[in-house]
Structure 1
Amino acid sequence: MSIVGAVVSLFVVGYGINAGYAVLSSVAILTFVMSFAIGLGPVPFVMIPEVSPFHAVSALSSIGLSLNWVINFFVGLVFLPLRNLLSGGDPQSEGRVFYVFGLTLAVTATALLRAYKK
């Protein structure tokens, strides 16, 4: 349900930005944060202590958090150029980048669910 909420909210953010509905976009961003916080967000911090030896939990948690920060940094570097490329300079099309993020999350989640369902 967390992934579904995050994907839907990303598409709604994109629609809200393209249509000029600031309140809808704001509510969708809050919905994304809530969906992420109750599902995908804490997964590394819950899973690492369960699957690793006690003496490695701190180091693995640090690696997981560092990896998260590095990936977020590079996504941040790509965000504005990708938004500008997809919008073609039209301010009414700046929400298209959220469609790409939503589609990426949906495809990745589907692939992972299929891989781990076996």
Structure 2
Amino acid sequence: MARSLLKTSSLSMRTKLLHQTEFEKKKKLEPFPGGSIDLQKEDSGIGILTLDNPSKMNAFSGVMMLQLLEKVIELENWTEGKGLIVRGAKNTFSSGSDLNAVKALETPEDRMALYNLQK
């Protein structure tokens, strides 16, 4: 039970942190469009997360970084979930991140804040 409370507390804290920093990060990352992240939740309890940015070999754009945060929160709240497959569209996993979007997060602290929200 204590573990359940900690997990719930952690989820709500992450959600609060996301909302507190979302507007700020959104302003910085939205100017870097392109691609999308799709999440399919199968009845079997397996989720399939697909990275799709064909113009940049599935590199994460700013918009995709924001979408990933939303999908992670959605998955954390999916009580029927048992596993997750992460794949890239069109036979390419991911070439990394769009460096221009990463640079938009001006300081290392900004980058770590975004990373910590994903944990």
Calculate the TM-score normalised by the size of structure 1: 0.30
Structure number with greater Rg is 1
Calculate the TM-score normalised by the size of structure 2: 0.30
Which structure dedicates a bigger proportion of its chain to strand?
A: 2
More contact order relative to length (CA 8 Å, sep ≥ 6): 1
